[in-house]
Structure 1
Amino acid sequence: MELRHLRYFAVLAEELHFGRAADRLHMAQPPLSQRIRDLEREMGVRLFDRTRHRVQLTEAGALLLEYVRPVLVGVDSAREAMRRIRPGEAGVLRVGVPPDTTPVVLPTLTAGLARRVPDVLIDLHELTTDEQLSRLREGELDAGVVRHPSDTIGLESGPVARRELGVVLPADHTLAAGAGTASRTVRMRDLNGAPLVIFPRAMAPRLYDHMLTICRDEGFLPGSIRHARNPNFVQGLVLAGRGVHLNEAPGTPLPHGLVWRRLEGAPLAWLTSVVWVPSRHNETIAAFTEAVSEGLAAAGHHMEDPPASEPRVPEQPSGPPASDEAGPEHLTSGLACWNT
């Protein structure tokens, strides 16, 4: 018995007319009649009473129909579920992007994807790196745009885009001298002892620890650490003299009273790539990866080869905190933007 024979039987049971049933099944009437006879032989019962004027279900046919209908519904549901689980093939690609994604990235990304796969809609979700990784593994996302280092074990990654970071300072800060000179650089060790404003560690633990490690290695041990995730709050804290902030060059002018300076030697950078579950990769995700690269390039990122593995996160050094906010015991980290 084949599934298609059961489907032929169910359609004929609904139509009770070989001609109409054959039309619905997009087949000729003689083959349909033969398949029904084959099914009756296999079942050992007559399923339909046939006369020149009508076709009727027998008692056996009516009983079989009760069993066949839920089977066919289940098969159709399974097929639909499998269709939806294939990224993009359900017509929608579910992806995550970091909350601080530069505005120019999104229109470039969406336009690039539309050129490559015009029949696929993109469903964008603003999520931190760890939120994306969790949803990818749960099957709630098809792909994510994440910051490294992060826990990508079991996932595949596309090309890595690099965007160097600088420091946001109050305009009257001693290291902001020459406020009109955007090319002026700051040595990280000259920030030593200054409070640092950084995103909460829970948002991206590996990235947080990696970033503070770089700060420590470059001679910048913050006198205290304040956590903030909203960009307006971050900028307000820096304006109020409550800390400095590490971030990429601003895409729009900073509020009056703030300046951005490059870091000497470019020790810090956003490292961003598309990640996905290997078994779910297809042409749509490949197209999305290319579109993301276009969007990041438009925002000033440049592409690097994918890393062989995520950078190692050193153990946290011990020591008393520098203040009641947070102290250098967290300096196993590094990056400082409010969202990751």
Structure 2
Amino acid sequence: MEFRHLRYFAVLADELHFGRAAERLHMAQPPLSQRIQDLERELNVRLFDRTRHRVQLTEAGALLLEHVRPVLAGVENARDAMRRIRPGEAGVLRAGVPPDTDPRVLRTLIAEFALRAPDVLIDIHEFTTDEQLARLREGELDAGVVRHPSDTVGLESGPVARRELGVVLHADHAAAADDGPVRLRDLNGAPLVIFPRVMAPRLYDHMLTICRDEGYLPGSIRHARNPNFVHGLVLAGRGIHLNEAPSSPLAEGLVWRPLNGTALAWQTSVVWVPSRHNESIAAFAEAVSKGLAEAGHRFEQAGRD
């Protein structure tokens, strides 16, 4: 049982309306409904009676609410206590980054943040884009580094950095014969190894749409998130993989090739809740921007969501 699911439940119990509760939580209505269903399945009870015109607490829901309210209040009191012991902006900045963040970006952002905010400890966690967005809205993160397009409604974003993607191929693949760029349509029919959709649904759909529009329809799709597992699948001949140029040499038998004239790219920015913005978050955003730039990303004015 996750803390944020209890908060979703409590807000819905207050509003008794999915639309108003979703708006208050700064999230879309379908994910809220799904989280409530997940909580009901976990507890093996129905918490709300839903009809077309109204939402009401069940007896089980009312009982759970009695237990949840003190928990939520206790957590908020603990957060307030932690804020009070921090001198001004000094304290801890809780930040999220994608699991596959380039090591050069991490090295630079940590060093640069230490220079810009020497009195603040940075606590970095690896989370997918959607995990970061959920934790930002729940107050569990202060800032996140996310990939676009994504559901950033109610959040503020820094400059968007862009880095074009290429393709990781088995060295024996026909498209790997030359060192030059590869056309997506020349990969048509090849199996695709890609991150699970749940990690970043909008980005996932965006990438597959571009592939389709440029003539590449995967023969099959295999999901993987660990880079070693991804590369192992490609090395075993189980597919190709779309990603930025690697920061270190690939395993023997793998090659990376740029893509010719494609719109496929990582679009990355720092996001935060506007009401919580402070000097530490500003310093983090600047440090991330420097790290991305040193790793080969370029900044653009538009094209985020």
Specify the alignment match of 2:190 in structure 1: 194
SS of equivalent to 1:133:
helix
1:265 partner SS: coil
Alignment of 1:1-340 (within 5 A): 80-83=81-84, 89-178=89-178, 181=179, 184-307=180-303, 310=305
Provide closer, same or farther for how the CA distance between residues 189 and 79 of structure 1 changes in structure 2, counting only shifts above 3 A: closer
CA contact (8 A) 1:155 1:277 kept: yes
> How far has the Cα of 1:85 moved from its partner?
9.4
Percent identity for Structure 1 against Structure 2: 76
Code of the residue aligned with 1:236 in structure 2: it is G
Structure 2: gaps spanning 5 or more residues: 1-76
In 2, Cα distance between the equivalents of 1:99 and 1:106?
Answer: 11
In the alignment, the residues of structure 2 paired with residue 208 and residue 78 of structure 1 have an alpha-carbon distance, to the nearest angstrom, of 35
Change (3 A) 1:277 1:78: closer
- Rounded to whole Å, the distance in 2 between the matches of 1:214 and 1:77 is 46
Matched to 2:134, the amino acid is S
1:265 to 1:84, Cα distance in 2 relative to 1, 3 A? farther
- Decide whether aligned partners of structure 1 residues 279 and 84 sit closer, same or farther in structure 2, where only a CA change above 3 A counts: farther
Letter in 1 for 2:159: P
5+ residue gaps, structure 1, are 1-75, 311-340
TM-score w.r.t. the length of structure 1 is 0.64
Cα pair 2:89 2:279 within 8 Å, conserved? no
Distance 2:78 2:131 in 1: 29
Which position in structure 1 is the counterpart of 2:39?
Answer: none
- Residue 266 of structure 1 deviates from its aligned partner by 3.4
Amino acid across the alignment from 2:210: I
Q: TM-score scaled by structure 2? A: 0.72
Question: Counterparts of 1:273 and 1:112 in 2: how far apart (Å)?
Answer: 17
Query: Residues 166 and 84 (structure 1 numbering): CA distance in 2 closer, same or farther, change over 3 Å?
Result: farther
Letter of the 1:80 partner, please give it: A
- Measure the CA separation in 2 of the matches of 1:201 and 1:188: 21
Measured after TM superposition, the shift of residue 84 of structure 1 is 7.0
- Residue 242 of structure 1: SS of its match in structure 2? coil
Q: For the structure 1 residues 256 and 281, does the alpha-carbon distance in structure 2 shift closer, same or farther, using more than 3 Å as the test?
A: same
After superposition, the Cα gap between the structure-2 partners of 1:236 and 1:84, relative to the gap in structure 1 and judged at 3 Å, is farther
- Give, in whole Å, the separation in 2 of the partners of 1:84 and 1:131: 28
User: Once the 2 structures are TM-superposed, how far is the Cα of residue 111 of structure 1 from its aligned partner?
Assistant: 1.1
CA distance in 2, matches of 1:112, 1:287: 8
CA deviation digits over 1:157-208, x for unaligned, max 9? 0000001100011101111003xx3xx1000011111100001111111110
> Paired residues, what number?
229
- Whether contact under 8 Å (1:148, 1:270) holds in the other structure is yes
| 8 A contact 2:169–2:256 mirrored in 1 | yes
Instruction: Give the residue type in structure 1 aligned to 2:223.
Output: H
CA contact (8 A) 2:136 2:142 kept: yes
Tell me the CA shift for residue 89 of structure 1: 2.4
- The answer for the alignment partner of 1:23 in structure 2 is none
Provide the rounded CA distance (Å) in 1 between the counterparts of 2:196 and 2:243: 15
Deviation at 1:298, TM superposition (A): 1.1
Give the Cα separation in 2 of the matches to 1:113 and 1:191: 41
With over 3 angstroms needed to count, the CA separation of the structure-2 counterparts of 1:92 and 1:239, relative to structure 1, is same
Query: Partner amino acid for 1:299?
Result: A
- Cα RMSD (Å): 1.9
Q: 2: CA distance between counterparts of 1:243 and 1:77? A: 49
CA distance in 2, matches of 1:191, 1:207: 20
Aligned-partner SS, 2:101? coil
Secondary structure of the 2:165 match is strand
Q: Residues 227 and 84 of structure 1: is their aligned pair in 2 closer, same or farther, counting only changes over 3 Å?
A: farther
Aligned partners of 1:189, 1:85: CA distance in 2, in Å?
Answer: 56
CA distance in 1, matches of 2:211, 2:262: 12
CA gap 1:80/1:223 in 2 versus in 1, 3 angstroms: same
Residue 77 (structure 1) shift? 7.7
In the TM superposition, residue 267 of structure 1 has moved relative to its aligned partner by 1.9
Question: What amino acid maps onto 1:247 in structure 2?
Answer: N
User: Following the alignment from structure 2 to structure 1, what is the Cα–Cα distance between the partners of residues 142 and 290?
Assistant: 19
